[in-house]
Structure 1
């Protein structure tokens, strides 16, 4: 190879490519995992072809534009031929847009430690048939573009400033995505999207002008979206709802009268009632509800007087509301309510006395309620509560990290009729686990970050199209990116590399039909709305 590749984006050498496939050969391994090439295209050469073969280990291809945005990728498993074809529409390739004129960067990289050689071929032309291909690559090829690209839905706040928060509340109403965003002009307000740039629009500017109403805790109830917001008129953060239109967006109740805020949060729907936590300025932060006819009232003053019970992690289970709260005597423990004062009771004092077990991540799978808690002996571990028809006392499901340290289960979610979560067993770092609620059924799904005593810290789980999607960092130089799993180690793979070496830090994942939506930062446009066709 006459041109030595660079090992960074900035050091990539400029190479000339034409309609004759040009070959580049080199080696990758533990000490050199990245090779970079730079090339130009013009308007007469919109079709682009690249393949990678002669591999002894897994090597992948990613094509970037000059702004470090991913244009295309091929991330096949093992030593399969990697292939990128842009501008083609034939039996071998799905329809892909042509490559616009400009400067581009090709990254050839390996995440593993096994040394390998490679042969990279690149060409550009007016049409696929005008490329001079001396012979096809060995071991197959020609099967289209490997990998699936995430797509920026819209750069709502143009430039490097972020439109979305890392933790953005996404909800779906009438097949559209609703969320809060800041476009740099109207402050942080309520938006919606149909998955297209043109269909991503401001719903209403509640706090008019450049100030923000900061809609949060978005929850669908009775064909409306309920949320907390501040319209800037002196009522503070209160309870609002919208039907998705400007005229249909209104204040539901000023629970804490005057300028102080009730700050409604932790919403959960049980039957025909929406429950939430709020502070009316008299009884502290307690449990409230909205009925189907939009009537707002307090359910119970759990921590009597001006003290707050601070209900949190509200969830429906066994035809009742379960949540964590403190009555001022037993610490933060597990509670249950049927919507009445008499029916609002403590389920169990797992950490006896005034100490707290602090139940969190309450998640229902089948006829069991799972949560994380600390009983004061085993550290923070996974607990379960069976349906009250079988038992009314929570039990420790599994002690993953024996002793008082605890495995600290987080991001609990139902997938494939099992519980999936992130935890640290004290050996593999924080990784992806699954459980049926017993010690024998609890197992590590995949050790994504195999570096000693490090974890990939999977989080932000969402189930779309029979796969579990999440954010993780495999420790191989890509940063925190988008992953998915079918519940097996072999089926747990990275699906995109949006942010380059810095990681895009995907968050707030949610699915609509076969499309995954999420917040990510590609390194140039801040935190914005992205989608991935699963």
Structure 2
């Protein structure tokens, strides 16, 4: 499919203040990268592969990308340095062995959780990128709720993770050997821990625990002595709707009945404090941190919160086209001194009528809409990914065949365009981003002219001259 060419485009550039004023329209041209800037790294799914075969678990290990691909009834582990000859199979696992959670890296060692249907056990494997260096570490009993090895993180030179066992939740630590993989703590009264609410601050993983009564914030550094209750948060069982890492601070939203409370934590009891409370069953989403302020969105209102206390300040109100429309922030990322975020436009239906890309530098004048027609469904959250070199990647609906193209932006409509003419699958719910940076390249799975999903990549630093024109 080709991007549509057209004559001059008109963009109503929105300088969003509290009144939603618009500047006079001006002509801009979207950019498009010429073929070759983003390119297929290697065909990993050969002709004849089932069309639903996906690349999964893309993970960076000190500049080397790892991923898994199903084959027939089993799984293949791959690694890539960004070149065709450097993209190779590491190990072919037997039939009946499948990925069972997100991999994690400890230095240049990759840890992979797998489920062995032949034994009924979840297995932890470690790999140094060679067949001989890919070894079995330990068996674990599977849990009730899907993946049983969760939230893997590197702490103090060891892998720390949660095991959701039949009898409850366990914390484990591993040095990559069977003997060095040990149980740290067990919580027999906790089932189905909210793994999307586990986050790392400093040298500890923070998680939330409720025993049917009080809700407390816990920490673990992978040792028994370093695993303990950090702070009492609420006398009742409450829901943690979102967590976010803001440099050296963790942010989270606690849903306490009709109220939404924004908290910060530095991993200590004294540094875990409530910043503000939003009432009235309002929708609230964390955007991130710029300088000394955290930013949140409540429907169309964008607020800043001082991390030193002092309440909130309204930054701006996101405009809508019709009064019955309601903006809902989906995902956000920070690039430089700006926050990029995708916004779903909904009415009475949970299915958004549109998803739009916005950027803010924390001021009303510096908050603007960049692009419309991002992909979105009631089960989809449109990704935004910072490359670390100034560009942000996102997906845009093709508009003709229900597919999504990879796009880029550097913060203005004139520096926003299509990265490649391939289809990148959408992100379901809170699933991982399709983009992963490893070394000096950003990798992503994409369905291309082979008709199958293959490994694609783009340099982390790239420049695309003005090119094809696309309606905003």
TM-score band w.r.t. shorter chain: 0.5 to 0.7
Whole-angstrom distance in 1 between the partners of 2:274 and 2:71 = 46
Whole-angstrom distance in 2 between the partners of 1:171 and 1:298 = 25
Which residue number in structure 2 is paired with residue 264 of structure 1?
149
Which residue number in structure 2 is paired with residue 170 of structure 1?
58
Whole-angstrom distance in 1 between the partners of 2:327 and 2:227 = 33
Pairwise CA distance, 1:189: 2.3
Whole-angstrom distance in 2 between the partners of 1:193 and 1:309 = 34
Pairwise CA distance, 1:203: 0.9
Which residue number in structure 1 is paired with residue 390 of structure 2?
466
Pairwise CA distance, 1:248: 1.5
Matches within 5 A, 1:181-192: 181-184=69-72, 187-192=74-79
Which residue number in structure 2 is paired with residue 415 of structure 1?
335
Matches within 5 A, 1:89-488: 146=34, 149-159=37-47, 161-162=50-51, 165=54, 168-173=56-61, 175-184=63-72, 187-206=74-93, 208=94, 210-214=95-99, 216-231=101-116, 234=119, 236-256=121-141, 263-282=148-167, 284-291=168-175, 295-302=180-187, 304-305=188-189, 307-309=191-193, 311-330=195-214, 334-339=217-222, 340=224, 343-345=227-229, 347=231, 349=233, 353-360=236-243, 362-363=244-245, 365-371=246-252, 374-377=255-258, 384-385=264-265, 388=268, 391-396=271-276, 397-401=295-299, 409-416=329-336, 419-424=339-344, 430-433=355-358, 444-449=367-372, 458-459=382-383, 461-473=385-397, 479-488=403-412
Whole-angstrom distance in 1 between the partners of 2:365 and 2:122 = 42
Whole-angstrom distance in 2 between the partners of 1:443 and 1:78 = 18
Whole-angstrom distance in 2 between the partners of 1:408 and 1:285 = 33
The change in CA–CA distance for 1:195 and 1:183 in structure 2 (over 3 A counts) is: farther
Partner SS, residue 458 of structure 1:
coil
The change in CA–CA distance for 1:220 and 1:79 in structure 2 (over 3 A counts) is: closer
Pairwise CA distance, 1:180: 0.5
The change in CA–CA distance for 1:268 and 1:312 in structure 2 (over 3 A counts) is: farther
Pairwise CA distance, 1:472: 3.2
Which residue number in structure 2 is paired with residue 106 of structure 1?
none
User: Would you say 1:497 and 2:378 are equivalent positions?
Assistant: no
Partner SS, residue 151 of structure 2:
strand
Whole-angstrom distance in 2 between the partners of 1:421 and 1:334 = 28
Bigger radius of gyration among the two: 1
Pairwise CA distance, 1:224: 1.3
Whole-angstrom distance in 2 between the partners of 1:190 and 1:373 = 39
Pairwise CA distance, 1:228: 0.5
CA contact (8 A) 1:357 1:376 kept: no
Which residue number in structure 2 is paired with residue 518 of structure 1?
444
Pairwise CA distance, 1:400: 2.4
Partner SS, residue 161 of structure 1:
coil
Could you tell me the TM-score, scaled by structure 2's length?
0.66
Whole-angstrom distance in 2 between the partners of 1:273 and 1:198 = 32
Whole-angstrom distance in 1 between the partners of 2:346 and 2:442 = 32
Pairwise CA distance, 1:527: 2.3
List alignment gaps of at least 5 residues for structure 2: 11-26, 277-294, 302-324, 348-352, 428-432, 463-472
Aligned residue pairs total: 387
Which residue number in structure 2 is paired with residue 130 of structure 1?
none
Indicate the structure whose relative CO is greater, using CA pairs within 8 Å and at least 6 residues apart. Answer: 2
The change in CA–CA distance for 1:342 and 1:169 in structure 2 (over 3 A counts) is: closer
List alignment gaps of at least 5 residues for structure 1: 1-7, 10-32, 36-51, 59-76, 84-144
Whole-angstrom distance in 2 between the partners of 1:375 and 1:243 = 45
Whole-angstrom distance in 1 between the partners of 2:373 and 2:154 = 40
Could you tell me the TM-score, scaled by structure 1's length?
0.59
Whole-angstrom distance in 2 between the partners of 1:163 and 1:150 = 23
CA contact (8 A) 2:126 2:176 kept: no
CA contact (8 A) 1:412 1:419 kept: yes
The change in CA–CA distance for 1:226 and 1:165 in structure 2 (over 3 A counts) is: same
Whole-angstrom distance in 2 between the partners of 1:57 and 1:432 = 18
Query: 1:482-528 deviations in whole A, cap 9, x for unaligned?
Result: 122224454343322324xxx76586211234422101223752322
